[in-house]
Structure 1
Amino acid sequence: MGLMTYRVSMLPPGRDHRHVLVWQFDEPVRALSSASVGGGFSTPAWLLNIGVPHDYSRIDLDEHATAIAAGRGLSGSGIAMFTAVDVTRVEHACFEGASVSATVGVTKPTWAADPEAGHGSWPGTINVVASVPVALEPAAMVQALLAMTEAKTQALLEAQVPGTGTASDAISLLCSTAGPAHRFGGVRSSWGHRLAMATHAAVLQGLVAHPGRAR
């Protein structure tokens, strides 16, 4: 099993943001993220989950994230996710080595294949950050992200939320770069199963603790 160490801290609110969750990586990590800033495959030095006001309307997300990172003294490239949820209400869950942190808001849930939904996004994002202490092959990381998404949706359905998610949900998966890479990451693989279990638990905890709210 590889070694992956990181630090998580909380930044206070600033002029154009609320609290910010910060992950700083002490060793190289491999990431796959759906975030608008730093998304895709990467080797990030940091990750931000940025709380923003409900009327947030900036479209220069890269510049905003870079400014917050620089203010923290973070260098190199990173990943940034945004949410109107109060990130101090983050929920954590672990399952057999897989670790997940989730900020959960569902004020505007939507069905993925809703022909009446139209376009756009609204406050109420579910942001998920997951990590495993092993290396995963690129395809396995994609499979694991799908497993986590299915687990998130399962939690929403169990909580009777009328939707498969929100229009602005984001997921980031972090894995070690050390050791042999696991080939599979689907729901019945060892690490895909663990990530699904931890994701389901963290999202469900958030739904139970703050039902239907993005505070």
Structure 2
Amino acid sequence: MLSEPLLTSRHEGGRDVPLLVWRSTAPLRAVSSGPLGGGIGVRHWVVNATVPMSYDRDDPADHLAALAGDLGLDGPGVGLLTGVDVAEVVARADSGVRAWATVGLGTPLLAAQPAPAVLAQRVGTVNIVVHVPARLGDAALVNAVATATEAKAQAIAELGLAATGTPTDAVTVLCPLDGPEFAYGGPRSTWGAPLARAVHAAVLAGGAVPVVPWSDRPTG
């Protein structure tokens, strides 16, 4: 079972920088596009860490692994980064599926639009973490990521933005290792439908509130 996220912090660059930690009481199956623990595999925890908009490290996986070590997290996990203050995480649930989103839409884009020469340095990451309370097969996990992405895009459109997301969004879906396996994760499947509704609601709520990049906020 995946815990509710714990808000904590680490000291970097002279400031206390927030991060969220989800722990599991048992190993979980997961699929993720995160910089640490991406792909499909067994995962024990998830970290979503705020970073300044000036973040330019070329080793984000190593950075996240070090943060996890400092937190005493054991085993493989998933690590995500965002310019958003992760204290502003939005949680929604539907029929046993739980979804959390940190929503920064400062750099919205349409996935297939011509790439601009330079992207403005504004908060622009949507990180989504989902727990499904039933075992999903590999194909269903991949399908669930697509469903979450479609639900995110629907919410962004309803917010009035001509965009499908931002250049740096990430999705993580976790489920139990044991139990009957479900083969599908699409938006009309047993678990894909509530997943879509929960993700849509979380992104819609998070995107409705203006977000200031964490690093632009005054200290003290």
**Normalised TM-score (structure 1):** 0.92
The 5-angstrom pairing of residues 73-152 of structure 1 reads 73-117=72-116, 122=121, 123-152=123-152
2:203 corresponds to which residue? 203
Give 2:53's aligned residue. 54
**For residue 165 of structure 2, what is the aligned residue in structure 1?**
165
Q: State the 1:77 CA deviation.
A: 1.5
| Deviation beyond 6 Å, 4+ runs, structure 1 | none
TM-fit CA distance, 1:121: 8.5
Instruction: State the secondary structure of the residue aligned to 2:68.
Output: helix
- Deviation of 1:8 after TM superposition, in Å, equals 2.4
Stretches of structure 2 lacking an aligned partner (at least 5 in a row): 215-220
Q: Match of 1:103, SS?
A: strand
The offset of 1:13, in angstroms, is 3.8
SS at match of 1:108: coil
Q: CA deviation at 1:63?
A: 1.6
Q: Report the CA distance between 1:174 and its aligned residue.
A: 0.4
Worse overlay, 125-134 or 4-13: 4-13
Aligned to 1:8: 5
The one-character-per-residue Cα deviations of 1:8-54 (angstroms, maximum 9, x if unpaired) are 21122421572010011111100000112110001112111010011
What letter matches 2:54 in structure 1?
Answer: D
Higher mean displacement: 148-157 or 63-72: 63-72
- The DSSP-based 3-state class of the residue aligned with 1:26 is strand
Say whether the 8 Å CA contact 2:2–2:22 is kept in structure 1. Answer: no
* Count of residue pairs brought into register by the alignment: 211
Structure 2 distance, partners of 1:162, 1:75, is 41
Q: Distance in 1 between the 2:45 and 2:208 partners?
A: 29
Within 2, Cα distance between the matches of 1:51 and 1:11? Answer: 11
Where structure 1 has 5 or more consecutive residues not aligned to the other structure, the ranges are: none
Aligned partner letter, 1:202: A
* Matches of 1:64 and 1:118, distance apart in 2: 28
Q: CA deviation at 1:163?
A: 1.1
TM-score (norm 2): 0.90
In 1, are the aligned partners of 2:92 and 2:99 still within 8 Å (CA)? yes
Seen in structure 2, the aligned counterparts of structure 1 residues 177 and 120 have a Cα distance that, compared at 3 Å, is farther
Letter in 1 for 2:65: T
User: What value does the CA root-mean-square deviation take over the aligned residues?
Assistant: 1.7
